[in-house]
Amino acid sequence: MAGPSNASSSSTYTSNTRSKKIKSKSKLDFANPCDCGYPSRIWTSTTKDNPGKEFRVCPNSTDNPEIKCKFWEWVNEEDTVNKKKRDEVRAQSCEVRAQSCEVRIAIMDHDFNIYKKKTDEEFDKIIRKISSLKTYVIVLFMLFVVSLLRA
Ligand SMILES: [Zn+2]
């Protein structure tokens, strides 16, 4: 009955063999979070195949291996630069989009003002027409009454 705890801890160690091959020095990378959303931890590889090469892992792989995610990638300077460039381009296109949106709103606002002006003018014309029509109707009515009285 005391066996399982021993077994689980030893399996944790075997699944964590990668950390045995690396130096103890590490740094946190806030720009590239792991799948858990934590800043990834950058280690330097000491393996024969990739000596001195940096890689990022879930910070939990050392602090709390039982809840670590599968996040793991080489730190590639080019990748980081490319990612920064991509982010910049994305930010720029966002800015451009926001600007074109502003321009569109300004145009719409302008068009609306013109339309509103036109509508107001049309409305004024209609009001004037109606009032002139009213006087015309009143005059007609008066003429009608007068003609009735004369008859
Ligand atoms: Zn993680």
Q: How far is the CA of 69 from the centre of ligand 1 (A)?
A: 4
> What is d(CA 127, CA 78) in angstroms, rounded to the nearest whole number?
71
| 44-69 confidence digits (pLDDT tens) | 888 888 888 899 999 998 778 888 99
**What percent of the chain is modeled with pLDDT above 70?**
81
pLDDT tens, residue by residue, 94-133: 888 888 888 888 888 888 999 999 999 999 999 999 999 9
What is the distance in A from the centroid of ligand 1 to the CA of 108?
A: 47
Predicted structure pTM score: 0.38
Spacing, Cα 65 to ligand 1 middle (Å)? 10
CB 79 within 8 A of CB 85: no
Average pLDDT over residues 85-93: 83
Domain ranges of the chain: 3-75
**144 CA distance to ligand 1 centroid (A)?**
94
Separation CA 78–CA 135 (nearest Å):
83
The CA 138 to ligand 1 mean position distance, Å, reads: 86
Q: Phi and psi of 120, rounded to 5°?
A: -60, -40
Q: Is the pLDDT reported for residue 9 higher than 90?
A: no
Please report the pLDDT score of residue 50 as a whole number.
Answer: 86
- Tell me the two tokens of residue 20: 């045995």
Residue 127 C-beta-side C-alpha neighbours within 13 Å: 6
| Encoded amino acid at 3, one letter | G
As a whole number of angstroms, the distance between CA 33 and CA 18 comes to 20
